[in-house]
Amino acid sequence: MARIGPVPEDRKEDFLRAMGVPFSFTPSEKDVAGFLDEWDHEWLTAAYDDEDRIVATFGSFPFDMQVPGGSLPTGGTTVVTVMPTHRRQGLLTRLMRDHLDTARARGQAMTALWASETVIYGRFGYGIASEDRKLELPTQHAKLLDPPDITGTMRLIDKEEALEVLPAIFERAHADRPGIFARDAKWWEKRTLADHERHRNGFTAMRITIHTRDGEDVGYAMWRTKEGKDGMLLQAREVVGVDAEAERALWQFLFGVDLVGKVEARHRSTDDPLHWWLENPRALEQTISDALWVRPLDVRACLEGRRYRTDGALVLDVTDPIYEDVAGRYRLTVSDGIGSVERTDEQADLELSIGVLGSVLMGGHGADLGRAGRLRGSAEAIDRADLIFGWPVVPFVQEIF
C-alpha cells in the first residue's frame, strides 16, 4: 500500500514531474526552477509507492480569505493529482483526510479550492461558494455608452513597477469582496505576475497597464494578445479599478487596442458591471462556472468570523461526511450584524450539509439552495436564512490557486 508522507526539499522536482502526468504538462528547466523557488516543501504531501516513487501529489497552504465583513484563516487545497496507474485506489481520499486533519490542527476555520471537475470534492464536505464568468465580445460591439476620454491616463509598466503599484490598487478595489484571498509579496511575484511560458498558450507576454486619475493610480489591467483567425484575440486577465469610473476607463482602453478582433476576460465576478456599460450588452457572451469551493472545519469560527446584514436567529442541523464532532446542531444568533454561535439541543430550523454551509457562509447563496432542496426547513426559515446569510457584494475569487 502506498505510503503518505511529506515531501523533502530534494524531492520537490520529482513532485512537479509526477504532477505533470495527470495535469498534462512536461516541465521545462525553467518550470522546475520556478517551482522549487515558489513552493515551500512543507506545504506539499505525496503518496509514495514501494519503490519510493511519487504516485500522488497534494498541496496545502495557509492564507487568509475574505468572508462577508471579515476574513478567516484558511487552508488552500491545490496541486491534487493521482497517477493514472494509481487512480481509484483511495489515494485522494487518504490525502484529503490528511489535509483536513492538518488544517484543523493548524486552526484553519475552513479549506478552499478550485475543482478541475465538479464531481470530485462534494464527498469531502466542500460546497460551491462562488461562481465566475468568462466574457467574450467581438470588437465591433466593444463600445461603451458615454465612452470616457482616457487620453494621457494610461501607461504600460514592467513587472518591477507592477510589484510596487498593483497591490495597493488591488486591496483597495477588493476590500469588501468575500472570496478574495490576501496576496503577499511572494505571491504577487511568483504567481500573479510570474507569466510562466508554459501558461502562455501562444499569447504574448503579459502587458500591464496602469490608469491614473488626477495624479493617482486608480486601476490596472493585465492583458495579452495572440493571433486569431478573425484578427487578434485580446485576453484580459485582471481589470481592476478602485471604483466604477476607473474600471470603465480601463475597458475603454482595452477596447481601443488596435488590430484586435475579439476581447475575452476570464474570472469576472457574476455581478461584473461591464454589460451595463456596453452599447450592445446582448453581444457579450457570458459563460458561468463554479469557482470557489469551501469546506468549513470549525462551524463556530466560520459563523462568528463573518458579519451579517440582518439580525435574527437560526438553529442549524449540520451533517458532515467525515467529522462526527463537527456535525450536529448550532444556534446562530445575530445581533448588530455580529454572530454568536453555541451548540444546542433545540429543534432545528434548517438541515444542511457542511458543504451547503460553505455555500451560504460566503454570502452568495441562500433561498436558491432552499428551492434546490439543499437547505431544508419551512419556507419561513429558508427566507430568514436568505436574509441573514445574504451579502450585497457577491463572493468572487480572483484567480485559480
Ligand X SMILES: CC(C)(COP(=O)(O)OP(=O)(O)OC[C@H]1O[C@@H](n2cnc3c(N)ncnc32)[C@H](O)[C@@H]1OP(=O)(O)O)[C@@H](O)C(=O)NCCC(=O)NCCS
- Give CA–CA dist 275/398, Å, rounded: 19
CB of 141 to ligand X, least distance (A): 34
Please choose, out of 77-85, 101-109, 142-150, 295-303, the segment that lies near ligand X by the rule CB under 6 A: 77-85
Mark out the alpha helices in 205-273 (DSSP H runs). Answer: 244-255
Q: Which CB sits closer to ligand X, 91 or 110?
A: 91
- Taking CB under 6 A as the criterion, the residue among 89, 102, 286, 319 binding ligand X is 89
Cβ(35)–Cβ(11) below 8 Å = no
Among the listed residues 58, 389, 396, 401, the single catalytic one is 401
Q: Is 307 in the site for ligand X (CB under 6 A)?
A: no
By CB under 6 A, residue 82 contacts ligand X: yes
Give, as one character, the DSSP assignment of residue 147: P
Rank residues 4 and 313 by Cβ distance to ligand X and give the closer one: 4
Q: How far is the CB of 74 from ligand X (least distance, A)?
A: 16
Beta strands in 251-387 (DSSP E): 260-269, 285-290, 293-296, 312-319, 328-335, 338-343, 350-353, 376-377
Q: How many CB atoms lie under 10 A from the CB of residue 51?
A: 6
- Contact range with ligand X by CB under 6 A, out of 103-111, 113-121, 239-247, 387-395: 113-121
Query: Which of 278, 294, 256 has the alpha carbon at shortest distance from 144?
Result: 278
Q: Would you call 401 a catalytic residue per the annotation? A: yes
Radius of gyration of the CA atoms of the chain, in A: 22
Q: Which stretch binds ligand X (CB under 6 A): 87-95, 99-107, 127-135, 319-327?
A: 87-95
Stretch that binds ligand X, among 84-92, 152-160, 203-211, 316-324 (CB under 6 A): 84-92
Nearer to ligand X, 118 or 378 (CB): 118
- What is the DSSP pairing of strand 231-241 with strand 260-269? parallel
Closer to ligand X by CB, 36 or 120: give it.
120
Neighbours of 294 (CB within 10 A): 30
C-alpha cell at position 175: 476590500
- Report the relative pairing of strands 216-228 and 231-241 from DSSP bridges: antiparallel
Q: Per CB under 6 A, does 90 bind ligand X?
A: yes
Q: Which of residues 118-137 bind ligand X (CB under 6 A)?
A: 119-120, 123
Catalytic residue among 121, 203, 253, 308: 121
**How big is the CA angle at 309 (ends 306 and 315), to the nearest 5 degrees?**
70
Closest CB to ligand X among 23 and 323?
23
C-alpha cell read off for 117: 471537475
* Minimum separation from the CB atom of position 95 to ligand X (A): 8
Query: Which amino acid, 77?
Result: T
Q: Is 55 in the site for ligand X (CB under 6 A)?
A: no
Name which of 117 and 380 has its Cβ closer to ligand X.
117
Residues that bind ligand X (CB under 6 A): 22-23, 80-82, 87-93, 115-117, 119-120, 123
The catalytic residue positions are 121, 401
